Structure 1
Amino acid sequence: MTSILTNSGAMAALQTLRSIDRSLETTQARVSSGLRVETAADNAAYWSIATTMRSDNRALSTVQDALGLGAAKVDTAYAGMESAIEVVTEIRTKLVAATEEGVDKDKIQEEITQLQAQLVSIAEGASFSGENWLQTDLTTAGGSETKSVVASFVRSASGDVSVKKVDYTLDSTTVLFDEGGDLGILDLTAVIEGAAVALNVNVGGVISQYTVAAFTTEEVITAGAGASTFDGSYATDGTNDYVKVDDDTWVIAVDQTTVTNQEVAYEDSGGSLWAVDTTNLAVATTSSVDTLAIDNSTTTTQLDGLLKMVDTALESMTSAAADLGAISTRIEMQEGFVATLTDVIDSGIGRLVDADMNEESTRLKALQTQQQLAIQSLSIANTSSENILQLFRQ
């Protein structure tokens, strides 16, 4: 049936043209944006997953920045610790040199003093972004303080998110100097014993056993400018008087007639009486790497004690440097992993929402052709009504 009121052909052609236009609009949007799923209306499930993963990727980007900051802090501390190890090693070398006979220990101490000052400079300078892992106030912190470096951003299967960190503890085994006390590696004191002998000494009327500084016969002979008097049981170098208390063992003494309330302990060959010098009773001294001092009176035994103390400090510093190196390596590996993970997530998001440009360009060309044909078809359908006029012509 032919009707001038209802043009079914035109209606069908228009419907087809509308459908083509919608498809063409969608394809053009994909081509211009590069996305197959740009909004939730395109595909709610994929859009939701992609949006979440993009958010996670931005968090990972922040983690990567934090890792860079953490790596800088660790590297600064490691560089400082490595330099400090070199300085303390040099101090040990100077102490070894001081054990050589005839060496001027006072001159060696001048070098050690400069090295100690360098240790302080290193510790003070090993700071990055306001944090110093080689020098801090451990006393106020209760003996230890934990420093953390952001390592990763994690989303669990349940959707919970968390930030993982790498911890490094600042304590007496990792910090060079404690600003609030003596807890640092280079602050820790050691008791350095000189050569000594235990004697019963009367001090103030009370007889007690004291550890008294002792000297060998050779040390007495070579003391000061050399012993000016030496008779086998008594000697003097013009500054100190010495009496022999055992085989090859001498102690500094005072003339019994010049003091009171002291035990008459020794008699020399001339019949003079001698007592232990009470000012020489304390022979144990405390020292640390940053306070150790030697002079020409420092004995070989004391130097051995100082060497042992420095070696102990070096062991702690080496261990701390190893820990810092391990953390640095871990951070470097984590930086690589985060970079790779970011790329993988980007790739995964692309598989979900990116448009296949080869496919979309082909579809666009086809739809443009279909659009032209639909327009032509609609034009033909619209002109069909005009044919009815031929029926009414005479």
Structure 2
Amino acid sequence: MTSILTNFSAITALQTLRSLASDLQGTQERVGSGLRVAAAADNAAYWSISTTMRSDSMAISAAADALGLGAAKVDTAYAGMTSVIDVLTEFQARLVAATEEGVDKAKVQAELDQMKDQVKSIAESASFSGQNWLTTDIADMYDVDINKTQVISSFVRDASGGVATKTMSVDLSKISLFNSTQGGLLQRDGRDVNRIGMMRYLASFGDGTEVWRPEWDGSTNARLGDRVFSGPLDLSGAGDAITFNVTVDKDEPSHGIAAPYDPGKTTVGVTIDKAFLDTHFPSWNGVIADYRGFAQALDQALSLANTGASSGVYYGSWYPNGSRPDEYWIMTDESSGLDGSYIEISNLTSQVSSGSHGLTNDFAQAPRGSQMTIPFTSFEVFRDGEDPDGIEVSFDFSVNYQPPKSYSFDRTYVNNLLGKTDGTVSNATEMVTLLSSLLQADWPDVIISEAGSSVSMVLDPLADRKAGGGTRIGFSNINVSHEPIPTLNFLEIDIVQNPNMVRTYIDYMDKATARVVDAAATLGALQTRIDMQAEFAARLASNIDSGIGRLVDADMNEESTRLKALQTQQQLAVQALSISNTAPDMLAQLFR
């Protein structure tokens, strides 16, 4: 139908042109932005996801930057630590050189002082962004709640949509060389439990070395010691002889044991004369030349008479020339089967042509060794890193050489037992409570009590009558879980003031250097972890960007092709509209 009022062809062409213009505009926007989802109206779900992920990607980028800051701190600390190790190695070499005779220790100490200053300088200089992990200021280096610092490691979003950063914990007690309140790797460890109240003592040696020894008290056999011989002793004359009685192993009422008291074993008429010597030592011709010979002859006489006693001379590296000249001893062998430990010479008669044998009417009583009283010193069972129970003290205990039994306690045990929170055993009363709780069930005859400021441990004399060499009470195999620990300060090493401690210093430096090497290894492991985390963060950011692109990026090949097609269609639509608008003009010409 042809109408002069309504141009249907033009209307259709115009609608087509409008549709093409809209499509062309959208395509041009996608080509211009590179996005097929640029706004929520394009695709609400994809736009929401991509916007959230872009935010996450920026957070991960920020975490990666923080990782870089942490890596710089670790790198700085590691560089300082390796430099310190080099200096410590040289330091130890100088100490070894100082052990040589003739070395001027003052000059060596001058070098050591310079090295100490260098280590201190390195530790103070190893700072990045205001943080120094080698020189710290921590109120309590052993408090796990405050001895750590944090390094950001990652950014995460949980299932509920919440966001958080993850951190790596760095334990500065394993890295710091010097701390303002002690506890650095090159400082004295402040967690020294020392004597553990009264359970051990520190034995010192001439070369400066010190060793912890367990406290115990034991008794040796009763002995008549320090008998001085002056010879030669001549028994070759008529009537020359030495005769005496020997009593061994009688009970001693002062030990607190109950009656009746055994009088011991007495041997009458032990004799040494020329006939005795000719029988057993014929080459002597009745003359005892020195104290060794007299001790030998005396021991033979005591043995033949079955007295239960013996004689000998003093030997040992702690005596001059390996012995004590001219001195001998007589002691009970404790072979009588009695509980006592006693030796007595009585009814002595002596006729000698010359010399002096040193025998007199005398006695000796060995004490009961199953008792000890030791002054108490307070101590603390400290924390031990992350272990809530703290440091553990373990030990063995035994009486009279019975098979020992093992025990242990830690910070938690002390706190629960004494109703405390600080792990301290403050006085002798508390130590008695602690030891009683551990030992009483296995050793009911051991009486543990407070003796003023001391702790007394004694085997009940009503249950044990023994004295002498078979008696002993005390501790053994004492172990503390965090020992050995450094008890010296690196900066206080002085071989001029303490020339006898050079070997102690060498041993200390060996252990201290090992601790610093361990710290460097810890930093190296931390470096590796940070590098791995940084690489993961970079990969994660790339994957997130790729994922966003898959959701919202436009396919530029497709869009450019569509743009060209739409532009062609637009040209055709314009031409169609032009043609449609010429139709009314042609109809109007019919009426002219």
Structure 1-normalised TM-score?
A: 0.73
Match of 2:170 in 1: 168
Query: Secondary structure in 1 aligned to 2:499?
Result: coil
Measured after TM superposition, the shift of residue 304 of structure 1 is: 2.0
**Match runs of 1:182-221 below 5 Å:** 182-188=182-188, 193-195=204-206
Note the alpha carbon deviations across 1:41-81, whole angstroms, 9 max, x for none: 11111111111111111111111111111000001111111
2: distance between equivalents of 1:20 and 1:314? 81
Q: Name the counterpart of 2:357.
A: none
Amino acid of the structure 2 residue aligned with 1:149: V
Structure with greater helix percent = 1
1:340 aligns with 2:550: no
1:182-219 Cα deviation digits (max 9, x unpaired): 2111111699944189xxxxxxxxxxxxxxxxxxxxxx
Give me the whole-angstrom Cα distance separating, in 2, the residues matched to 1:167 and 1:10.
Answer: 76
8 Å Cα contact 1:104-1:296 kept in structure 2: no
- What are the equivalent positions in structure 2 for 1:134-173 lying under 5 Å apart? 134-139=134-139, 143=143, 144-171=146-173, 173=174
Tell me if the contact between 2:207 and 2:503 (Cα under 8 Å) persists in the aligned partners: no
Distance 1:291 1:387, change over 3 A: same
| Aligned pairs (5 A) from 1:234-383 | 246-247=319-320, 287-295=488-496, 298-299=499-500, 302-383=501-582
Change (3 A) 1:194 1:303: farther
Match of 1:7 in 2: 7
* 8 Å contact from structure 2 (residues 141, 147) kept in 1: yes
SS of the aligned residue for 1:32 comes to: helix
- Tell me which residue corresponds to 2:133: 133
Q: SS of 1:163's equivalent? A: strand
> What letter matches 2:185 in structure 1?
I
Contact 1:106–1:296 under 8 Å retained in 2: no
CA change 1:296–1:141 in 2 (3 A) is closer
The normalised TM-score by structure 2 is 0.49
Would the aligned equivalents of 1:288 and 1:309 in 2 still touch at CA under 8 Å? no
Q: Which residue of 2 aligns with 1:237?
A: none
Distance 2:111 2:203 in 1: 21
Shift of 1:313: 1.1
Q: Which has the larger radius of gyration?
A: 2
TM-superposed CA distance for 1:295, in Å, is: 2.1
For residue 347 of structure 1, report the CA deviation from its aligned partner.
1.6
The question of whether the paired residues in 2 share the 8 Å contact of 1:139 and 1:183 is answered with no
Instruction: Give the distance between the partners of 1:308 and 1:188, measured in 2 at CA.
Output: 14
Equivalent-residue separation in structure 2 for 1:10 and 1:338 (angstroms): 60
Secondary structure at 1:164 match in 2: strand
In structure 2, give the amino acid aligned to 1:135.
T
> How far apart in 2 are the matches of 1:64 and 1:118?
35
Aligned partners of 1:146 and 1:162: how far apart in 2? 20
CA distance in 1, matches of 2:95, 2:46: 71
Deviation at 1:363, TM superposition (A): 0.7
Would the aligned equivalents of 1:105 and 1:296 in 2 still touch at CA under 8 Å? no
| 2:321 pairs with 1:122 | no
Amino acid at match of 1:292: I
Count of residues paired in the alignment: 307
CA distance 1:192–1:307, shift in 2 (3 Å): farther
Cα deviation, residue 146, structure 1: 1.3
Give me the whole-angstrom Cα distance separating, in 1, the residues matched to 2:496 and 2:207: 18
Deviation at 1:246, TM superposition (A): 3.2
Paired residues of 2:207 and 2:504 also in contact (CA < 8 A): no
2:588 corresponds to 1:389: yes
The CA deviation at 1:391 is 4.1
The change in CA–CA distance for 1:4 and 1:246 in structure 2 (over 3 A counts) is same
Secondary structure of the equivalent of 1:392? coil
**Residue 5 of structure 1, CA deviation:** 1.6
- What letter is aligned with 1:88? L
Cα RMSD for the two superposed structures: 2.3
Residues 174 and 158 of structure 1, relative CA distance in 2, 3 Å threshold: same
Question: Residues 294-344 of structure 1, C-alpha deviation per residue, up to 9 Å, x if partnerless?
Answer: 028613xx2221112112211211111111110111111111111122122
Deviations 1:271-297 (A, max 9, x none): xxxxxxxxxxxxxxx742111100286
Q: Are residue 43 (structure 1) and residue 43 (structure 2) matched?
A: yes
Is there any run of 5+ residues in structure 1 with no aligned partner, and where?
A: 198-243, 250-285
Q: In structure 2, what residue type is equivalent to 1:195? A: G
2:178 match: 177
Question: Higher strand fraction: Structure 1 or Structure 2?
Answer: 2
Distance in 2 (CA, whole Å) between partners of 1:196 and 1:109 is 18
Report matched runs for 1:20-169 at 5 Å.
20-139=20-139, 143=143, 144-169=146-171
Higher relative contact order (CA 8 A, sep 6+): 1
- 1:346: Cα distance to partner? 1.4
- CA shift for structure 1 position 23: 0.4
Residues 196, 148 of structure 1: alpha-carbon distance in 2 compared, 3 angstrom cutoff: closer
Measured after TM superposition, the shift of residue 142 of structure 1 is 6.3
> Which ranges of 4 or more aligned residues in structure 1 deviate by more than 6 Å?
189-192
What SS does the corresponding residue of 2:102 show, helix, strand or coil?
A: coil
